[in-house]
Chain A
């Protein structure tokens, strides 16, 4: 019986073909087929190789019309008919057909395959919002059973084989992002954020602990609370040990009290001192706080007088750095 339609591997370019294309991709989507199956479908139905490139997510799949995947590094030809994964986005799916004007069927194939591929990529490669609070909570709960955490990870669309990070913010819900994705957008986030290390999904509770620790090292910015708004646990190194010594809301150590007292006397003090610890040279620090180099020298002399220790020697700078850091850690 099987040979009856055995040759029906490509579509006739008739009116019914577009309908079949739509039904084909609908069924693939319904069956939760993977991206490669979608690219294969496009290649087989169009009868020419199909290429999908999603640079951001490092996906590159090229399938020939016989269904065999053969990736090549060559860039797509602008003459090939193409479709974007998102409306108004850059082309991401191409049919390698340079010799003729694309048909209506080509257009339908591209539109359907790209739309289906976007859904799959969002589901499997982490653009889907990872924001179901209950699932995230389970995933980050070290006392939850492993199967429950794996189930939560799958439901959140995480790739179980790829590393992920936990994110902590002061009041917001915990977050989880796939590790290859940039954890923070190019522009500074609106809220303080601690970033946990990249770990296998089952170790996310540990990443979450580290993210909360990193959060304590962050600052709001501004005159009263200068400092980095985003801190990655992986960048803290041994400095993370300080977090265990200073309990939030506890009586601040003497150096921190000295800072607060001095800051009450000189509103510029905290931002200026932070600039000294956060830049490579005093000249850079002056530029950072937007004062002349000699003005900075005057300010630092004044600060040293208020604090009672030098801030322009290596040792004094370390003491200052620790004091500013402990000041953030002591925040209630």
Chain B
């Protein structure tokens, strides 16, 4: 199936010109190691996580899933004196196609929210595929959330006001975390923020075909990421919803969701479908489809007008969610 893809927003198309040497849409399995060693991830380590002293930053090693190694949590707490009551907590899950990244990646976005809304940020580091296939990543994410809920008070956080949030693969893992927490009767987050989430291993929507070879994450890269996570089971009949939330048959009883996605990206149709199915199950969801947005555009081109709208929408949703 081929069809004419929606055009990129002009500013975003120009931004793609700037990054095309560093990021190509189609990532193959053999490219993973080179990208992990590449310059883009090195830039992340230069981030000033204290944001000029606004946050106290701590790396905490906490127990992982049973029988698995410990995991590392990046904890950022506002340096300002604690308010009368504990702060809400954002539990952040990084992106990277299930195969890249660490708990620094994308956390600056969560820190922006934390600065605006006085939040504690906890960012989890999970084991990456293909070395650690499903369920290692999602179980690490789950274990980190359990620890966060149990120890929220010692961080000045409110265990009853945890928002889970993630981008791309992190968005998929966040959606899976919400399903796991529901099904295992774990702590109840008050909301799930799913930014261009990676939800469906089948990789067979119209948008996944339409955007082949375009943007920063096309169907080839998507195949690579899911195959790294699921091996030969990818796209087959026996994929767990905790790996690919689009596979879940029941989307009822989940915390209120915010979902967004670009109209010009591989994930468009699966994200729209997921939001629709939450509504069909009687749930609460807010969906934004950004016209001409490529995958993760607001991270790649934060200055663009569309990126500013997307970021404002994230913050606005959080503000409404946290208002009492």
A3 touches B303 (CB 8 A): no
Minimum CB distance partner of B225 in chain A: A1
**How many Å lie between the Cα of A7 and that of B107 in the bound state?**
12
Q: Which residues of A from 1 to 28 have beta carbons under 8 Å from B?
A: 1-9, 11, 20, 23-28
Minimum CB distance partner of B303 in chain A: A67
Q: 10 interchain pairs (CB within 8 A)?
A: A3-B96, A4-B35, A6-B44, A6-B302, A9-B303, A25-B14, A27-B14, A28-B11, A32-B10, A40-B304
- A-B CB proximity, top 9 nearest: A2-B296, A67-B303, A31-B10, A33-B10, A4-B40, A3-B105, A2-B299, A27-B14, A7-B43
Since A1-B168, A31-B11, A37-B11 are in contact, a sample of 6 more A-B pairs with Cβ atoms closer than 8 Å, ordered by chain A residue number, is: A1-B100, A2-B95, A3-B94, A7-B40, A7-B43, A9-B302
Minimum CB distance partner of B14 in chain A: A27
- A41, CB-defined interface residue at 8 Å: yes
Residue of A3, A27, A41 contacting most chain B CB atoms (<10 Å): A3
**How many Å lie between the Cα of A288 and that of B7 in the bound state?**
63
**How many Å lie between the Cα of A24 and that of B101 in the bound state?**
27
| Nearest CB of chain A from residue B314's CB, rounded to whole Å | 13
| Nearest CB of chain A from residue B230's CB, rounded to whole Å | 17
| Nearest CB of chain A from residue B220's CB, rounded to whole Å | 12
Q: Which residues of B from 216 to 259 have beta carbons under 8 Å from A?
A: 216-217, 221, 225
Interface size on A, residues (CB 8 A): 30
Binary A-proximity of B35-55 (CB < 8 A = 1, otherwise 0): 100101101101100000000
B22 touches A5 (CB 8 A): yes
Determine chain A's interface SS by DSSP, over half rule: helix
| Nearest CB of chain B from residue A8's CB, rounded to whole Å | 6
* Residues of chain A lying within 8 A (CB to CB) of residue B196: 2
B300 touches A27 (CB 8 A): no
B41 touches A4 (CB 8 A): yes
**How many Å lie between the Cα of A66 and that of B302 in the bound state?**
8
**How many Å lie between the Cα of A4 and that of B19 in the bound state?**
10
**How many Å lie between the Cα of A153 and that of B287 in the bound state?**
35
- B9, CB-defined interface residue at 8 Å: yes
- B17, CB-defined interface residue at 8 Å: yes
Q: Which residues of A from 64 to 85 have beta carbons under 8 Å from B?
A: 65-68
- B29, CB-defined interface residue at 8 Å: no
**How many Å lie between the Cα of A41 and that of B17 in the bound state?**
12
Q: For chains A and B in complex, what number of residue pairs have CB atoms within 8 angstroms? A: 128
Q: How large is the interface on B (under 10, 10 to 19, 20 to 34, 35 or more residues)?
A: 35 or more
- A109, CB-defined interface residue at 8 Å: no
* Residues of chain A lying within 8 A (CB to CB) of residue B297: 2
B296 touches A8 (CB 8 A): no
**How many Å lie between the Cα of A23 and that of B18 in the bound state?**
8
B97 touches A31 (CB 8 A): no
Given the known inter-chain contacts A1-B168, A1-B295, please indicate yes or no for A7 contacting B13, CB distance below 8 A. Answer: no
Q: Which residues of A from 97 to 114 have beta carbons under 8 Å from B?
A: none
A37 touches B10 (CB 8 A): yes
A37 touches B19 (CB 8 A): no
Which among B101, B169, B303 is the interface contact of A40 at CB below 8 angstroms?
Answer: B303
**How many Å lie between the Cα of A44 and that of B301 in the bound state?**
10
- A298, CB-defined interface residue at 8 Å: no
Given the known inter-chain contacts A4-B40, A9-B302, please indicate yes or no for A24 contacting B296, CB distance below 8 A. Answer: no
- B8, CB-defined interface residue at 8 Å: yes
| Nearest CB of chain A from residue B51's CB, rounded to whole Å | 14
* Residues of chain B lying within 8 A (CB to CB) of residue A88: none
**How many Å lie between the Cα of A8 and that of B300 in the bound state?**
7
Binary B-proximity of A135-153 (CB < 8 A = 1, otherwise 0): 0000000000000000000
| Nearest CB of chain B from residue A226's CB, rounded to whole Å | 54
A31 touches B300 (CB 8 A): no
- B167, CB-defined interface residue at 8 Å: yes
Given the known inter-chain contacts A8-B22, A40-B303, please indicate yes or no for A3 contacting B101, CB distance below 8 A. Answer: yes
B221 touches A27 (CB 8 A): no
Given the known inter-chain contacts A8-B19, A24-B18, A31-B10, please indicate yes or no for A1 contacting B296, CB distance below 8 A. Answer: yes
- A56, CB-defined interface residue at 8 Å: no
